[in-house]
Amino acid sequence: MRAARMHGYDQPLRFDEVPVPDPGRDEVLLKVSATGMCRSDYQLVDGYFRSGLPVDLPFIPGHEVAGTIAAVGSDVPAAAGISEGDPVVVNPNWGDGTCRQCRRGNQQLCSNGRLVGFGPNGGFAEYMVAPYRHVLSVAGQPDSDPRYLAPLTDAGITPYRGMKKLRDAGLLGAGRTVVVNGIGGLGGYAVQYARLLGAGATVIGFARSDAKLAVATEHGAHHTLNVRDATVEQVRGALEDMTGRPAVDAVLDCAGSEESLGLAAAILDTGGALCQVGLMGDRLELPSFPFVSGEKSYFGSFWGNLDDLQEVLTLASQGQIRHQVVPVAFEDVNDALEALGRGDVVGRAVVVFD
Ligand code: FEH
Ligand code: ZN
């Protein structure tokens, strides 16, 4: 099979001809149909995760995978209901199943866990293997195009989980304002969740390009703001014009740069919360007096669990989620990684296999 493999950090992926992997006894072999491309794929290749998530080289990235079952391991129970030819998505976070977090359903937080495409080989290849417990049938999914389903396993669930944290903290609802900061692969979905879960909250999209703001508008943002080169005072002034208040109740930060987080902290109203799902910089600096005296909160939110994925797949099957996909030919994967690094992709880039 053809596989796009890392042979070292900060080098383009190489297209190698390698054997189709054999599924272990409790694994399945998938013929990959589509694999979403995330900025963290660019960061993986770039070396951002070199110490936190080291990989054994050569290595196949790709963590948003949709495919069809090509073979089933000998110990996969019939009760799993998995058969050759079934269309599936891969639940990307493979916890050990026994730790405290796994038992609470949060396999993405397992400290012994494996993240597909960051440890186990991922979906930038024609085939991959996965534990049968971590594939979900999408046979009943009306909107079953794999190029739409693949991104739901990260770009779809990550902002969903973050938005639920803001909702559960009581920060959404009529008369409240929520900002989605960064309208990339995650932010396009985040705006939709702000409308779906927001119970009447005013939704504002921030981005650094008008093309990305157009996506936010298309996906239901009430207002948008181009924050490239904008000062905090200008942003607060624009918010006042839009909502009557210079500050907001909630920010879902899908960019995660020091700059975007600094802006988020500066526009948060008393009692508000910032939830970070994007990860670009290395540090987070929050002004401590305003955070303590104004009872502001910070939530980190990482990827999503199986419940999140099932909920997002259900919303998609009800036609409640719009997709903004940029199809990428397999041989163009390095160009797409570079474009992700520059922040030039509008929507989610998805490698589509024939
Ligand atoms: C994966 C691994 C480490 C950090 C961030 C990610 C994201 O792609 C998941 O949201
Ligand atoms: Zn990702």
Same domain, 162 and 284: yes
**Distance (Å) from CA 350 to ligand 2 centroid:** 12
189 in Cβ contact with 182 (< 8 Å): no
Same domain, 165 and 147: no
Say if residue 143's pLDDT is above 80.
no
Domain range for residue 56? 2-154+304-352
Same domain, 165 and 132: no
Same domain, 206 and 133: no
Same domain, 78 and 126: yes
Same domain, 315 and 236: no
Contacts of residues 162-166 at CB distance under 8 Å and 24 or more positions apart, as own/partner, are 162/190, 162/252, 162/275, 162/276, 162/277, 162/299, 162/301, 163/190, 163/193, 163/194, 163/197, 163/252, 163/275, 164/197, 164/308, 165/273, 165/275, 165/299, 165/301, 166/250, 166/252, 166/273, 166/275, 166/299
The pLDDT of residue 142 is 86
CA distance 71 to 26: 11
In whole angstroms, how far apart are CA 345 and each of 184, 282, 341? 7, 22, 9
**What CATH number has the domain bearing residue 40?**
3.90.180.10
Greatest alpha-carbon span in the chain: 63
Model pLDDT for residues 14-65, shown as the tens digit of each residue = 999 999 999 999 999 999 999 999 999 999 999 999 999 999 999 999 999 9
pTM above 0.85, yes or no: yes
Same domain, 222 and 264: yes
Which atom of ligand 1 lies at the shortest distance from residue 41's CA?
8
**Distance (Å) from CA 279 to ligand 1 centroid:** 8
Q: Which token pair is 203?
A: 């939704």
Same domain, 16 and 143: yes
Model pLDDT for residues 224-250, shown as the tens digit of each residue = 999 999 999 999 999 999 999 999 999
279 within ligand 1 shell (Cβ under 6 A): yes
Q: How buried is residue 204: exposed, middle or buried, by Cβ count under 10 Å (0-12/13-18/19+)? A: buried
The pLDDT of residue 354 is 81
Q: Which token pair is 307?
A: 């419940």
**What CATH number has the domain bearing residue 240?**
3.40.50.720
**Distance (Å) from CA 34 to ligand 2 centroid:** 14
Model pLDDT for residues 252-263, shown as the tens digit of each residue = 999 999 999 999
Which atom of ligand 1 lies at the shortest distance from residue 118's CA?
2
CA distance 55 to 173: 43
14 in Cβ contact with 7 (< 8 Å): yes
Which atom of ligand 1 lies at the shortest distance from residue 115's CA?
2
148 within ligand 1 shell (Cβ under 6 A): no
Same domain, 167 and 110: no
Same domain, 162 and 149: no
What is the number of structural domains in the chain? 2
Same domain, 106 and 221: no
In this structure, what DSSP letter does residue 192 have? H
CA distance 225 to 325: 23
CA distance 147 to 37: 11
Which residue's CA lies nearest to atom 4 of ligand 1?
40
296 in Cβ contact with 290 (< 8 Å): yes
User: Ligand 1, from 35, 40, 337: best to mutate by most atoms within 8 Å of Cβ?
Assistant: 40
Same domain, 150 and 244: no
Model pLDDT for residues 121-140, shown as the tens digit of each residue = 999 999 999 999 999 999 98
